[in-house]
């Protein structure tokens, strides 16, 4: 009898501890989650997501170091398939060697490729940077333009790059930056069911108020790097857990 009593007590204690752990870790099973059904519920959920991201990353900004729109454009082109940290190691020397857009327009592709070797895909990137410098000099009086339409005529600048430059360098909300983090998290949080970045961006632009596009992009990218990581999302410590019913949510 004594042994049975002790066993039950131990079991109760263990269950109590498990309950506490569950509370501390915020975990809610995706199946147990109530999904929004009406437009009002969906709006409420999006507002809660935006609020939690704001609390997590109040002053999120672009991680690429730059002094002006041109430097940010170059850094963004170099950041394709490369980490921002790596780009930040390369750009100080690069901008010292080529201080103006004219310097970039005048350098040979082979030489620039050598300068940016460690960022990968250096031949294509060198071609884009030189092409962008020439286009900005010839078509925009040497200044990085301020509209999406004009940005998209610049070699190496698709919508993602244009949104980064317009949003961060000029504070112009032209859309939402959709990189791999934003792509993944938009799907996990059921903000878009699309796979194509352009379609995901359209969904996010409909869901998120325009005044929040710039910061929302930065916050989601930080969130993707630090919490909702690709292979091992840190769901147990994620403050968005109670709003998330992603299939690959971890317990």
Name the site residues for ligand SF4 (rule: CB under 6 A).
188-189, 227-228, 233-235, 238, 240-241, 244, 246, 249
CB of 238 to ligand SF4, least distance (A): 3
Q: What is the CA radius of gyration of the chain?
A: 23
Shortest Cβ distance from residue 233 to ligand SF4 (Å)? 4
Pick from 165, 167, 146: which is nearest to 211 by CA?
A: 167
Of residues 127 and 222, the one with the C-beta less far from ligand SF4: 222
Tokens representing 212? 């929040």
Q: Which of 52, 125, 135, 160 is catalytic?
A: 160
Mark whether 195 is an active-site residue.
no
Sequence-distant (≥ 6) Cβ neighbours of residue 224 within 8 angstroms: 180, 181, 182, 184, 185, 230
Identify the active-site residue in 179, 190, 203, 212. 179
Shortest distance, position 196 Cβ to ligand SF4, whole Å: 21
**Shortest separation between residue 228's beta carbon and ligand SF4, angstroms:** 3
Q: In terms of CB distance, is 116 or 182 closer to ligand SF4?
A: 182
CB 177 within 8 A of CB 163: yes
Minimal distance, residue 234 CB to ligand SF4, in Å: 6
What HEC string does 30-92 produce?
Answer: HHHCCCCCCHHHHHHHHHHHHHHHHHHCCCCCCCCCCCCHHHHHHHHHHCCCCCHHHHHHHHH
Q: Name residue, tokens 């170099």.
A: 78
Residue 193 designated active-site: no
Distance of alpha carbon 217 from alpha carbon 61, whole angstroms: 9
Measured in degrees and rounded to the nearest 5, phi and psi for residue 169 equal -80, -35
Cα end-to-end distance, the chain, whole Å: 36
Catalytic residues: 160, 179
């Amino acid at each position: 009898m004594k042994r049975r009593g002790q066993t039950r007590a131990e079991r109760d204690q263990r269950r109590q501890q498990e309950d506490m752990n569950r509370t501390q870790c915020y975990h809610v099973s995706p199946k147990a989650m109530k999904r929004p059904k009406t437009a009002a519920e969906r709006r409420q959920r999006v507002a809660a997501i935006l609020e939690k991201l704001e609390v997590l990353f109040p002053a999120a900004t672009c991680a690429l170091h730059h002094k002006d729109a041109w430097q940010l454009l170059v850094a963004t082109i170099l950041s394709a398939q490369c980490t921002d940290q790596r780009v930040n190691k390369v750009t100080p020397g690069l901008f010292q060697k080529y201080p103006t857009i004219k310097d970039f327009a005048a350098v040979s592709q082979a030489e620039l490729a050598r300068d940016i070797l460690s960022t990968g895909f250096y031949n294509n990137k060198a071609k884009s940077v030189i092409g962008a410098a020439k286009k900005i000099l010839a078509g925009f009086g040497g200044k990085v333009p301020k509209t999406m339409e004009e940005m998209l005529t610049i070699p190496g600048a698709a919508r993602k790059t244009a949104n980064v430059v317009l949003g961060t360098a000029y504070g112009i909300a032209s859309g939402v930056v959709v990189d791999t983090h934003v792509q993944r998290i938009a799907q996990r949080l059921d903000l878009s069911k699309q796979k194509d970045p352009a379609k995901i961006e359209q969904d996010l632009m409909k869901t998120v108020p325009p005044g929040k596009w710039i910061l929302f992009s930065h916050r989601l990218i930080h969130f993707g790097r630090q919490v909702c990581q690709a292979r091992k999302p840190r769901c147990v410590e994620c403050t968005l857990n109670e709003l998330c019913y992603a299939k690959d949510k971890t317990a």
